[in-house]
Amino acid sequence: MVQFADSPQEAAFRDEVRAFIKESYEPLRVAIRDEGKASGGYAETPSKRKWLSTLSDKGWIAPAWPVEYGGAGMGVMEQFIYNEEMAESGATRPSGITVGFIGPTIITLGTDAQKQEHLPPILKAETVWCQGYSEPGSGSDLASLQTRGVKDGDDWVINGQKIWTSGAHVSDYMVMLARTDPDAPKHKGITYFIVDMHAPGVEVRPLVNMAKTHEFNEVYFEDVRVPSRNVLGEVNRGWYGAVTTLDFERSSIGSAVGMGKGVQTLIRHAQESAESGVSQLGHRAGLRIELADRYLESQIARMISYRIVTMQAQGLIPNYEASMGKLYAMELNQRIASTAMHVFGLHGQLWTDQEGAPRGGLYNYDYMRTVANTIEGGTSEIQRNIIAGRGLGLPRS
């Protein structure tokens, strides 16, 4: 049964989070073009650094981490409430990869020395991390990766290439999978490494997408030496380490809330611009139905998030349910962006530096950027296979 109402303790915590955000958070009023959407949202500004410092002082950079590792030790529901309220306020969050994936991986698999070296800087928002998984010939079939790691004394020598590496251009470290035993079966003989992105032989090349943002990168490794102390987990068992990476954001409540707020903003802008003739709302009655559909769908995405967090609170592990959430949310993102184009017509296609662009060109940006949503983080085809096999019990084709 999905639990919607807060307990008294949860309600008190929700009030605490809201009060903290209201008192401490100042919206980052930076224009899209000035922030350089070309940075893909990775741009650092003084106001962003100040806010992250405030979160660090509160102990809320990584609130779900255990207290002994510098987190706030929040339970599942507290973390959910925290994420929900942060999303509702639009407050800037620390790097999801660094805090949501990498930190928990180090907590789970790392040595004491690795924890002491890397966790404190993450908690102070001083380091940024990326993940070196996909390769040009190994995307959905990641276990076929070919980047090699060869033992040489106390080091491993890495040669190969990674692609679609989010944030590599601003990262200090990478957690990376490399094949260290080419004769082992496909899912074995892979080792998980911590790689210094400033080490000799590491080259990052930008991949600018059609939305003109630089989020992804190609990363090349040429005789990069990685000390053995930077092996994360066991040698030749990196695949199992990578798939056990903890994900405290699995409910995706931030995405669900963000989509709902986006649709509400779209409706408001459509209403405000209808009289000026910019909006198509008064000319196409079908748009009213389309906007209503998008709003209802955003609420369904939120219900899926509630279902997932209810499972987590009961000690269950969401599996195909998480794939349902990812699949539904990413395809909904694309439908919302398409609806924005329908609402604003040709005006919606204006770019960020063009006069009259609705919301500073954000709708055009979203329309371009969301094309990748159903590819990144596991394609829609992969999600459907998981839902079919693990959720519906259908046989493999």
Beta strands in 133-229 (DSSP E): 148-152, 155-162, 173-179, 190-196, 202-208, 214-227
Bridge-based pairing of strands 173-179 and 129-132 is parallel
SS3 labels along 72-91 = CCCCHHHHHHHHHHHHHHCC
Nearest to 372, CA basis, from 248, 213, 150, 205: 213
CB under 8 Å to 390, separation ≥6 — which residues?
Answer: 319, 320
Q: Is the pLDDT of residue 296 over 80?
A: yes
Tokens of 99: 């805090």
Give the model's pLDDT for residue 59. Answer: 84
How many C-beta neighbours within 10 Å does residue 129 have?
A: 25
User: Which residue is associated with the tokens 């981490």?
Assistant: 65
Residue range 248-277: mean pLDDT, rounded: 77
Kindly state the helix (H) or strand (E) to which residue 15 belongs, with its residue range. Answer: helix 8-24
pLDDT tens per residue across span 100-140: 889 989 998 999 999 999 999 998 888 999 999 999 988 77
Q: Do the Cβ atoms of 118 and 128 come closer than 8 Å?
A: no
CA distance 279 to 276: 7
pLDDT tens per residue across span 188-216: 999 999 999 999 999 999 999 888 889 89
Q: Is the pLDDT of residue 36 over 50?
A: no
pLDDT tens per residue across span 132-190: 999 998 877 888 999 999 999 999 999 999 999 999 999 999 999 999 999 999 889 99
- The residues that are catalytic are 249
| Torsional sign, CA 244, 245, 246, 249 | negative
Which domains does the chain show, CATH number per domain? Answer: 8-93 (1.10.540.10), 129-243 (2.40.110.10), 253-391 (1.20.140.10)
Give the model's pLDDT for residue 99. Answer: 86
Give the model's pLDDT for residue 284. Answer: 65
**How many alpha carbons lie under 13 Å from residue 303 in its C-beta half-sphere?**
7
* Angle formed by the axes of helices 362-369 and 320-344, nearest 10°: 140
Tokens of 90: 């639009």
pTM, two decimal places: 0.82
Give the model's pLDDT for residue 371. Answer: 92
DSSP tag of 172: S
Q: Is the pLDDT of residue 34 over 60?
A: no
Confidence of residue 37 (pLDDT cuts 50, 70, 90): very low
pLDDT tens per residue across span 327-351: 999 999 999 999 999 888 888 888 8
Tokens of 87: 């999303």
What backbone torsions phi and psi does residue 207 show, to the nearest 5 degrees? Answer: -120, 105
| Torsional sign, CA 287, 288, 291, 293 | negative
